[in-house]
């Protein structure tokens, strides 16, 4: 490996390390936001479950009230049996009592079913509450851990940027502007190693004269993707 190739490889390595550090700095807030979204989703699920439980209890209470109303009506009809003026009236009252008893039987089944559903919903709410608490704790933990790493990552970033600036001295002034445009466009992949006479970024085979020029330490760019090439 020529001196120029070794210098370019070192520059490429520095760019890749800087990219890793910056990814951690930029990725932290994204991962925090993702956890906050999970918390918001769990909060919404819990709120919806609580609203549903409230509606279920209201419906059950209405059925219980209807049952009591029907039972009072049956008691009233039973009292009227002794006052029936004719067999026909007696039969009508008796039929009404039987019909109300059937209606009450249906209501009792519905109330029992609603109580079972309320119990299931209450358990679901308990589960959702635990999931929410877990999501909140995970979000707080990750945020605290990330914030602890920020100073070290910032220091690494500054050191790598300074090292890159020093390492860029291997690039001729005539090619510096082109190189800077590549860095602006491709960041850590602005440079590409030559592997088996091909650009490792776009896999285009290099011309023989380009290989020769690289071997003697000249600065060359890939004719296909434009990356700054170096031999390994």
Same domain, 129 and 182: no
Domain that holds residue 164: 19-170
Last residue of a domain, one of 127, 154, 170: 170
Same domain, 144 and 191: no
Same domain, 156 and 180: no
Domain-located, residue 1: no
DSSP secondary structure code for residue 195 in this structure: E
Same domain, 91 and 151: yes
Q: Determine how many CB atoms are found less than 10 A away from the CB of residue 152.
A: 11
State the Cα–Cα distance between residues 90 and 71, nearest whole angstrom. Answer: 19
Same domain, 93 and 155: yes
pLDDT for 1 equals: 52
Residue 225 burial (10 A CB sphere; 0-12, 13-18, 19+) = middle
Domain-located, residue 12: no
Domain-located, residue 60: yes
Last residue of a domain, one of 170, 185, 207: 170
Q: How many domains does the chain have?
A: 2
Same domain, 127 and 175: no
Domain-located, residue 107: yes
Same domain, 84 and 147: yes
State the Cα–Cα distance between residues 55 and 124, nearest whole angstrom. Answer: 15
pLDDT for 2 equals: 61
| CATH number, domain containing residue 116 | 1.10.287.1490
Domain-located, residue 8: no
Domain-located, residue 185: yes
Same domain, 40 and 25: yes
> Are 67 and 150 in contact, with CB atoms under 8 Å apart?
no
Task: Write down the number of H helices and E strands in the chain.
Answer: 4, 3
State the Cα–Cα distance between residues 165 and 172, nearest whole angstrom. Answer: 13
Same domain, 55 and 147: yes
> Are 16 and 186 in contact, with CB atoms under 8 Å apart?
no
State the Cα–Cα distance between residues 106 and 3, nearest whole angstrom. Answer: 92
Domain-located, residue 7: no
Last residue of a domain, one of 170, 197, 217: 170
Same domain, 126 and 219: no
Domain-located, residue 5: no
Same domain, 195 and 138: no
Q: What is the 3-state secondary structure (H, E, C) of the chain?
A: CCHHHHHHHHHHHHHHHHHHHHHHHHHHHHHHHHHHHHHHHHHHHHHHHHHHHHHHHHHHHHHHHHHHHHHHHHHHHHHHHCCCCCHHHHHHHHHHHHHHHHHHHHHHHHHHHHHHHHHHHHHHHHHHHHHHHHHHHHHHHHHHHHHHHHHHHHHHHHHHHHHHHHHHHHCCHHHHHHHHHHHHHHHHHCEEEEECCEECCCCCECCHHHHHHHHCCCCCECCCCCCEEEEC
Same domain, 36 and 137: yes
With b for 16 or more beta-carbon neighbours within 10 A and e for fewer, the 182-217 pattern comes to bbeebebbbbbbbeeebbbbeeeebeeebeeebeeb
Mind listing the pLDDT tens digit of every residue in the chain (232 residues)? Answer: 566 899 999 999 999 999 999 999 999 999 999 999 999 999 999 999 999 999 999 999 999 999 999 999 998 988 888 887 888 888 888 999 999 899 999 999 999 999 999 999 999 999 999 999 999 999 999 999 999 999 999 999 999 999 999 999 999 999 999 999 999 999 999 999 999 999 999 999 999 999 999 998 899 999 999 999 999 8
pLDDT for 81 equals: 84
């Amino acid at each position: 490996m020529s001196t120029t190739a070794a210098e370019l490889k070192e520059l490429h390595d520095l760019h890749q390390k800087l990219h890793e550090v910056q990814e951690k700095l930029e990725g932290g807030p994204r991962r925090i936001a993702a956890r906050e979204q999970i918390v918001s989703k769990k909060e919404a699920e819990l709120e919806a479950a609580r609203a549903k439980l409230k509606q279920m209890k209201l419906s059950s209470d209405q059925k219980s009230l209807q049952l009591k109303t029907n039972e009072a009506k049956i008691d009233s009809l039973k009292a009227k049996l002794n006052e029936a003026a004719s067999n026909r009236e007696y039969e009508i009252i008796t039929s009404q009592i039987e019909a109300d008893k059937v209606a009450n039987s249906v209501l009792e089944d519905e109330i029992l079913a609603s109580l079972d559903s309320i119990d299931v919903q209450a358990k679901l709410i308990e589960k959702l509450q635990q999931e929410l608490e877990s999501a909140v704790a995970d979000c707080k933990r990750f945020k605290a851990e990330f914030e602890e790493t920020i100073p070290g990552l910032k220091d690494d970033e500054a050191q790598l940027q300074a090292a890159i600036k020093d390492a860029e001295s291997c690039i001729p002034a005539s090619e510096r502007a082109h190189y800077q445009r590549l860095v602006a466009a491709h960041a850590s992949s602005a440079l590409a190693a030559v592997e088996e006479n091909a650009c490792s970024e776009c896999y285009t085979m290099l011309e023989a004269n380009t290989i020769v020029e690289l071997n003697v330490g000249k600065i060359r760019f890939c004719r296909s993707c434009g990356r700054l090439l170096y031999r390994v």
